[in-house]
Amino acid sequence: MIRSSKISLKFTNTQKIDNLSIFCDEYKTVTQNFVDIIWQQHLNDEKISNLIPKSITDLMKDKTWLSSRAIQSSAKQASGIVRGTIRKFKQREYIYNKLTKEGKFKQARKLKRVIDQYPISKPELNEVNPELDSRFIKINFDNETSFDGWITLSSLGNKMKIEIPFKRTNHLNNLSKKGEIKGGIRISKKFAWFNFDIPDKTKKTNGITVGLDIGIKKVFVSSDNQIGKSDKDGWSLSDIQKKISRRKKGSEGFRQAQDHRNNFINWSLNKLNLSNVKELRVEKIKDLRRYKNTSRYMSHWTYTSIFDKIENLCEENGVQIIQINPSYTSQRCSRCGWVHKSNRKKEMFKCLVCGYATDSDKNASINIGLPLPPSRRKRCLGHDNRVGFYWNVLDGEPIVPRAQKTNFHIFQ
């Protein structure tokens, strides 16, 4: 496993930051030039290699003051950017052709709209964070200064040498205990990223299966009674979302609020105990806001950042993670299996058949953790949850036909 840890460069003096900014700007310009050259090769149906030919890198020596090593690093990074763009587009085309051959025309049309909306085009780089290997950097953790370590950047070109002090973070210390630091770093004008090589964990064979409900008011609620709570200052994810919605996009306050959200998500999920868990079942949420009008409050809720963190935790703890379809998991009674739209009222769940009442997120997490049969597509199209049906582990079909349950008040 490869994990990275971000440190701040705020302890660096102004002159060193200015030199670092000059290098990053020149590196970005050179990388964009390489992107232009490599993209032209793509248009000419030439094979794009990870290693750019020396004849091409030599052309850049007269146009920049960067060293030969820095030019090679820039060319390699540009090649990765272009190949990644092409690979993503080809993957979409492959899936589209596969869906068409299988007769899944509705899904194919949806993907075709995405392909038409985002056609393949040459990458335009707004910002590039140089990826420097061990030839450029030297990391010194043993020093007698007030700082925890120093990063020395050399072989950049123009006889430039930059020594940057930094202080350790808790995340950096934790990764240092788990694995070995790699030689290279990624750097920007404000931050640097260390990479760690951590041994892979074998998947557990003993333990329990846990369902995890992910939300905006509570980051997570598990079927084994674990709940994501507010921090010591009283902040919840919902409060942070409201703070982000009040900030102007692109402002420094907006960026700080986003960092607050990401830090809170990481802090909250680090409280999740997976020591006795062999399998974690979570919802597979897709297209949550597509074709819908939504508020700024909801638009800044990022399921992907939460799921990515959970996936990393599962990988580090040897836990198998499974994504399931979230349809009806919040409307099903975890005690009797009755599904009805009116079972859930915001944060409260009360079954209209058996009267079972509990927290709605807790009820959903139990349903997610159960091996329920997949809900059939005809139920969604027929809106069966408005009439009600039983959805049990051993029986996925409604016990009573829809026509006999039109007057549901008899169960209240």
Give per-residue pLDDT as tens, 176-209.
998 898 888 999 999 999 999 999 888 998 999 9
Q: Are 212 and 220 spatial neighbours (Cβ–Cβ below 8 Å)?
A: yes
Query: Residue 400 has what pLDDT?
Result: 44
pLDDT the model gives residue 376? 67
The pLDDT assigned to 395 comes to 47
d(CA 78, CA 32): 7
For 319-348, what is the mean pLDDT? 89
Q: Where in the chain is the domain with CATH 3.30.420?
A: 208-324
For residue 392, pLDDT over 60 is answered with yes
Torsion of CA 81, 82, 83, 86, to 10 degrees: 120
What's the confidence (pLDDT) of residue 250?
85
Lowest mean pLDDT, pick from 55-64, 208-217, 259-268: 55-64
For residues 137-163, average pLDDT: 90
Supply the pLDDT for residue 410: 32
Predicted local distance difference test score (pLDDT) of residue 412: 32
DSSP assignments along 287-301, one per residue: -SSTTS---HHHHT-
Which range among 118-132, 203-217, 309-323, 365-379 shows the weakest confidence by mean pLDDT? 365-379
Q: Quick one: average pLDDT of 349-370?
A: 91
Locate 9 and state its tokens.
């460069």
Q: Is 50 helix (H, G, I), strand (E, B) or coil?
A: coil
Please state, for a pLDDT cut of 90, what percent of the chain lies above it.
50
Instruction: Give residue 177's Cα distance to chain centre.
Output: 24
Give the burial string for 52-62 (b: 16+ CB within 10 Å, else e).
Answer: beeeebeebee
Strands 277-283 and 320-324: parallel
- The one-letter code for the residue type at 173 is N
Q: What phi and psi values does residue 189 have, to the nearest 5 degrees?
A: -75, -15
292: pLDDT strictly greater than 70: no
pLDDT at 397 over 90: no
Alpha-carbon span 339 to 398, nearest angstrom: 9
Average pLDDT over residues 117-127: 89
- Quick check: 346 pLDDT over 90? no
Lowest-pLDDT range, 54-68, 147-161, 196-210, 385-399? 385-399
- For the cut 70, the answer to whether the pLDDT of residue 7 exceeds it is yes
Q: What is the pLDDT of residue 1?
A: 86
Average pLDDT, the chain: 86
Choice between 195 and 49, residue whose per-residue pLDDT is larger: 195
Provide the 3-class DSSP secondary structure of residue 311. helix
Residue 341 has pLDDT above 60, yes or no: yes
Report how far residue 193's alpha carbon sits from residue 185's, in angstroms, rounded to the nearest whole number.
6
Closest by CA position to 4, among listed 164, 192, 207: 192
Where does 208-324 sit in CATH, by number?
3.30.420
Name the nearest CA neighbour of 334 among 313, 360, 309, 316: 360
Per-residue pLDDT averaged across 213-218, rounded? 87
What pLDDT score does 379 carry?
66
pLDDT range class, residue 405, cuts 50, 70, 90: very low
Q: Is the pLDDT of residue 60 over 90?
A: no
Mean pLDDT of the region 309-334: 90
Q: Per-residue pLDDT averaged across 128-146, rounded?
A: 89
| Least confident range of 61-65, 101-105, 188-192, 395-399 | 395-399
